[in-house]
Structure 1
Amino acid sequence: MTITSLDFQPNQPIPAEFTCDGSNTAPTLEFTDIPINAKSLVLIMDDPDSPSGVWTHWMMYNIDPLTTILEQPFPSGVAQGINTFGEVVYDGPCPHNGLHHYVFTLYALDEALSFPKPPTRSEIEYALTGHILQSAQLIGTYERQ
């Protein structure tokens, strides 16, 4: 299973368009080789370089496993979780101190997830337990000028 972006190369800078210095829209992502028995996909984007600990910028769940391109507007049925900003949206890179790495982790699950309201990171992680078939990562960087 792989996750790549049509907007930036692995381990390279994320264009400003997808950050707080631009339109702050999510980059287009491409998924390949999803396990045939996957029932849903989960995507988590975080910043492990944040001085206050891992900072979650974006969480999406119940992505159809037949999805090969994830772009805005997002497909129906996809839901989002609460990021560290306390919002249910994509919040792009906006580091206050130097170069940061942004990790997009894609999980293939053996079931769809169900929450009564937008979940937190810990609620999504708990729901993933025992249901991950495979995972893949894409890392991009960003440093404010």
Structure 2
Amino acid sequence: MFQKIPASLGKALGGVRAGVDKLLLNEEGAQAPETIQVESAAFRDGGAIPLRFTADGEGTSPPLSWSNLPEGTKQVLVVVEDPDIPAPQPFIHLIAVFDAAVTSVDEGGLKEGSSLARLGKHSMGGVGWLPNDPPPGHGPHHYLFQVFALNRAIDWDDKPGKDEVKTAIVKTVLAKGVLTGIYERVKPS
């Protein structure tokens, strides 16, 4: 989608970013200790996301695991956002809800039809993993894989979006954790 934007426009918009203050983990209703350990076998925290997980590669979802969930966790919510997008709000790449017993998902496991998680709507209106696709020339984009332990099982809509997630998690977040991956599209594809 964004790969067709000229790099000169991406560079011109370099200072325009949604901002980390608008991420779900910074919402007032999501305040909780950051004690969940979030990891990926594909990249380290603060490291580059491999090409195969992006729109420039195969676009498959990366493997992800989480640990140190607090006692009383009933559901796990995973939301991946890009706060560097030149837009008013961070771009949603994934919303997924897991039973508390699930602590990991394999590479490619977050696509539509997954039996492991209830998948919500990403910013393009579809469900499942939306591959990283920053505008060329816009600089590095940070993708925050946010994991929330919820103290109750929420009866989600069929395909929840960010607004429903924000409303539903108020006073339900026991703990949270985040893994940050970075991807920069240097040249147009």
Read off the aligned partner of 1:79 and give its amino acid letter.
R
Give CA-to-partner distance per residue, 1:24-58, whole Å, 9 cap, x none. 11110111111121001000000000011311111
Q: CA deviation at 1:115?
A: 2.6
Equivalent residue pairs, number: 144
Read off the aligned partner of 1:125 and give its amino acid letter.
K
Superposition pairs of residues 28-67 of structure 1, within 5 angstroms = 28-52=63-87, 53-61=89-97, 63-67=98-102
CA contact (8 A) 2:61 2:109 kept: no
Do residues 20 (structure 1) and 55 (structure 2) align? yes
Read off the aligned partner of 1:22 and give its amino acid letter.
G
In our comparison, the structure showing a higher alpha carbon Rg is 2
For 1:68 and 1:7, how far apart are their aligned partners in 2?
16
Do residues 80 (structure 1) and 119 (structure 2) align? yes
Read off the aligned partner of 1:58 and give its amino acid letter.
L
For 1:140 and 1:15, how far apart are their aligned partners in 2?
9
For 1:77 and 1:95, how far apart are their aligned partners in 2?
28
For 1:10 and 1:3, how far apart are their aligned partners in 2?
9
- Which of the numbers 128, 139, 142 marks the counterpart of 1:101? 142
Give 1:140's aligned residue: 181
Q: Secondary structure at the match of 2:168?
A: helix
Q: Give the structure-2-normalised TM-score.
A: 0.72
More strand by share: 1
More helix by share: 2
Read off the aligned partner of 1:128 and give its amino acid letter.
I
For 1:13 and 1:120, how far apart are their aligned partners in 2?
27
Unaligned runs of 5+ in 1: none
